């Protein structure tokens, strides 16, 4: 070996020492020789040892965000609650709230209830008084929370100290609620004061009229039909008008009881529960006196609220009050 070769040998050895051995597939853990330098490399143990195959695997559900409007949160089309799908806590909370909203808030009863009305089927209407305990107040707040969300009241804006709350109890559930307050004056609604909206016309008042507008796609043709509405007399037009803005007379009239909010669960609507609540309020709002319908007024109603007021008062000229009249 020459002198130059002796000087190169340490560098070559150092080069191969720093190089990591490359694993190769083998049927066992036997050793073999690699490279020209005569180094022995021990093969890593294969999957046959069971260390990888027996390892517990964790799985997670992933979702693709492709611009969905409800990717993170979903709003229930029935109860209006927003929750995260797939989250156990949110799913459980939504299920409980949905059932309370649609079927009524669970209610086992109170001791010494102030019952103001009963029905033959066992249903009852109770008046919530100021002497109620904290447990009773918590149940009332649970109901008021649902009513506020349904009718569009802000949090804490529905109740005040002078309000009286009537609850309709059926099958151990609160299925209706009426919030009444004392008022001094109200204003009479001018019949037919809202703008006409043909969408409120009953189906039997609409007749299809054939036209010549036809779209053809090969052997398939589509004919366009126009819906023609019958003209109504001025006397009956108000029955088909949209309950949007309400115009009242400027002159006020005396009134004593204001129906601030009326709510019935969706599954029990159109069964006269709202009317029974208002009857109970008229008979018990003032001690020892039954109020006439003409002495009661409604807060600015929703579309369904206007239909209820018109049906209950048997006229479109019912009374409406504002915050200034209370």
pLDDT higher than 70, residue 7? no
The CATH number of the structural domain formed by 115-191+246-320 is 3.40.630.30
Q: Provide the 10 A C-beta neighbour count for residue 300.
A: 13
Average the pLDDT over 141-164 and give the result: 89
pTM of the model: 0.62
pLDDT value of position 49: 53
**Which one, of 73, 100, 310, lies nearest residue 191 by Cα?**
310
Instruction: Kindly indicate the confidence band of residue 193, based on its pLDDT and cuts at 50, 70 and 90.
Output: low
Which among 111-115, 156-160, 253-257 has the top mean pLDDT? 253-257
Domain boundaries, the chain: 74-103, 115-191+246-320
d(CA 217, CA 183): 65
Question: What percent of the chain is predicted at pLDDT more than 90?
Answer: 30
Lowest average pLDDT, out of 56-65, 230-239, 260-269, goes to 230-239
Instruction: Kindly indicate the confidence band of residue 186, based on its pLDDT and cuts at 50, 70 and 90.
Output: very high
11-25 residue pLDDT tens: 444 444 455 555 555
Instruction: Kindly indicate the confidence band of residue 230, based on its pLDDT and cuts at 50, 70 and 90.
Output: very low
> Cβ contacts of residue 225 below 8 Å, gap of 6+?
208, 209, 210, 211
Token pair recorded at residue 193: 């004061």
Average the pLDDT over 173-178 and give the result: 95
pLDDT higher than 50, residue 145? yes
Instruction: Kindly indicate the confidence band of residue 1, based on its pLDDT and cuts at 50, 70 and 90.
Output: low
Residue 277 or residue 236, greater confidence: 277
48-91 residue pLDDT tens: 555 555 567 777 767 666 666 656 688 888 887 888 877 888 88
pLDDT higher than 50, residue 304? yes
Question: What percent of the chain is predicted at pLDDT more than 70?
Answer: 62
**Which one, of 115, 122, 117, 164, lies nearest residue 140 by Cα?**
164
Token pair recorded at residue 163: 């309000």
125: helix, strand or coil: strand
Is residue 276 a contact partner of residue 117, using CB atoms and an 8 Å limit? yes
pLDDT value of position 217: 54
pLDDT higher than 80, residue 167? yes
pLDDT value of position 67: 65
pLDDT value of position 32: 46
Q: End-to-end CA distance of the chain, in Å?
A: 115
**Which one, of 300, 298, 301, lies nearest residue 318 by Cα?**
298
Average the pLDDT over 151-175 and give the result: 91
């Amino acid at each position: 070996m020459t002198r130059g070769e002796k000087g190169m040998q340490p560098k070559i050895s150092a080069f191969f020492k720093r190089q990591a051995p490359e694993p190769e597939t083998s049927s066992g853990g036997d050793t073999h020789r690699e490279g020209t330098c005569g180094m022995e490399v021990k093969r890593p143990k294969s999957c046959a040892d069971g260390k990888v195959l027996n390892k517990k695997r964790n799985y997670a559900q992933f979702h693709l965000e492709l611009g969905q409007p409800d990717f993170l949160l979903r709003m229930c089309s029935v109860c209006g609650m927003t929750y995260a799908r797939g989250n156990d806590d949110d799913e459980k909370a939504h299920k409980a709230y949905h059932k309370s909203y649609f079927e009524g808030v669970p209610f086992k009863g109170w001791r010494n209830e102030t019952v103001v009305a009963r029905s033959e089927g066992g249903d009852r209407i109770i008046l919530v008084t100021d002497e109620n305990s904290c447990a009773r107040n918590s149940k009332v707040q649970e109901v008021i929370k649902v009513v506020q969300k349904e009718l569009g009241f802000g949090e804490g804006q529905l109740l005040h100290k002078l309000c009286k709350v009537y609850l309709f109890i059926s099958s151990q559930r609160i299925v209706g609620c009426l919030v009444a307050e004392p008022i001094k004056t109200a204003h009479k609604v001018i019949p037919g004061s809202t703008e006409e909206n043909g969408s409120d016309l009953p189906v039997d008042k609409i007749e299809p009229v054939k036209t010549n507008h036809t779209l053809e796609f090969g052997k398939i043709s589509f004919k366009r039909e126009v819906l023609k509405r019958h003209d109504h007399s001025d006397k009956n037009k108000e029955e088909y008008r949209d309950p949007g803005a309400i115009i009242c007379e400027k002159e006020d009239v005396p009134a004593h009881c204001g129906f601030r909010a009326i709510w019935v669960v969706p599954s029990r609507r159109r069964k006269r529960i709202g009317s029974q609540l208002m009857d109970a309020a008229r008979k018990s709002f003032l001690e020892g006196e039954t109020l006439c319908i003409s002495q009661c007024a409604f807060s600015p109603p929703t579309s369904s609220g206007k239909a209820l007021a018109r049906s209950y008062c048997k006229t479109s000229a019912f009374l409406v009050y504002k915050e200034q009249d209370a």
